[in-house]
Structures are given as structure tokens and as C-alpha cells.
Structure 1
Amino acid sequence: MAKHRIFTMSFAKVYPNYVQKAEKKDKTKAQVDELIRWLTGYSQDGLEEQLEKENDFETFFAEAPHMNPARKSIKGVICGIRVEEIEDPLMQEIRYLDKLIDELARGKKFENIKRD
């Protein structure tokens, strides 16, 4: 079975869209980065290194230092699909990130987005 197209997309190519979506709602790149770091365990330097390498989503998540166990509490619909019901583990990780960015852009309190 062929890989889903998003798995082979460069994370660095999609990242500006995350930032742009947040900035349109008066949120910041720093907040986007903090959410990505919260989810994946990357340091800021590690995140920037991933962006420089232009790794695909599959590699980006495979190399993540420590996926936050609290991510399993992320619920809701993104792209018309409930994130908690996605069966493919990589697709679920990608959609967790999408959901975090979506919540940031929708004005949810930053402390509540991180689910700590």
C-alpha cells in the first residue's frame, strides 16, 4: 500500500502555514513553536534543525525525542475526522499537531491547549 502523500511532505514546507494560520489570529510563531515542542519533545534548536533538514513528516515524527503522553487527551474533529479515532499512528500524530494549531488559531486559552 502506498504511503499517504502527507507522510512524504516536507515538514519545513508546511510549517509556515501553521505560523501563518496562528498569526492571522494574533498568535505568534513562538506559540506555534512551543506547541510543537510540547507535542514532540524537540528543543528549539532541535526543531530548527528539523526545519533546516527539510525532513518529511514521517522522519520528523520518527526523530521526535519524546512524544508527550498527554497528546492522547486531544479530542475533536480536524479535516472532518475525529483525531481520537484515526487508526494510522503517524496520521494521528500529524492530526494532533493540526488540532493544536487549530485550537491556537481559534483563540483557545494557551494553557488549555497544552493539556498539562
Structure 2
Amino acid sequence: MSGDADDWAEVMRVVAAIVGERPEYTPAVQQGLEDLLLLVRSTNRPAPSVSPGYWPTFCLTWKTEEARNLQIEVFEDRYEVYRFFDGKTDIWYEPHPGGGGLSDAFIAELPQAA
């Protein structure tokens, strides 16, 4: 369990560093990230890697087998879900205006619980 706690501590450290380097992150984008991380952690899924997006967004990726080709980008009002395949990319949006629920389809995209 300590490895899991260490993984989540690293996620929070990385997020703080990203926000510290780019003050243009809006509260809505930061809240969207917080909401998604809470969902992932509270459902016992693996901690993601977090990186800055091209816009003031956050990109989440995972190293687990079923999610190796998954990236979720956090915007102010939505999550953009990317699945990368050989020669094609599937992209779709999950609305998230803040505090709202998420679709079953979105939750099914996340890596499986440990």
C-alpha cells in the first residue's frame, strides 16, 4: 500500500510543480483535474502520470496494459479522451462543467481498479 501512497504523493507533487510553472491555469481546469484524480483514487485505480497540455490543460496517461494507449486531457468544461491505435486515434469529449456526474462510457475508459 505504501507504493500506492508514494505514487499519489508524486502525482500531487507534479501537479503543484506544473501549476507553479504556469500560473495561467484557471480554477476550473484545476478543479476538473482534482475531480478526476479523486474519482481515480477513490475507485482504487492506478495513479496516472500528469503532464502539462499544450493549452493550460493537464494530460493524464497510465502505464497499465489496458490504458497504455489512453490519454485524458482536462479542460475547463470537459475531458477529452484519446485512444491511440496503430494508424488511427479515437477522440471524444466528456462534458464536465464542474461537480457533475460522469458517463458510464467515460468511467469504462479508465484503467481497471487494482
Is TM > 0.5 for Structure 1 vs Structure 2? no
In the superposition, the TM-score normalised over structure 2's length comes to 0.33
- Structure with bigger strand share is 2
In the superposition, the TM-score normalised over structure 1's length comes to 0.32
- Structure with bigger helix share is 1
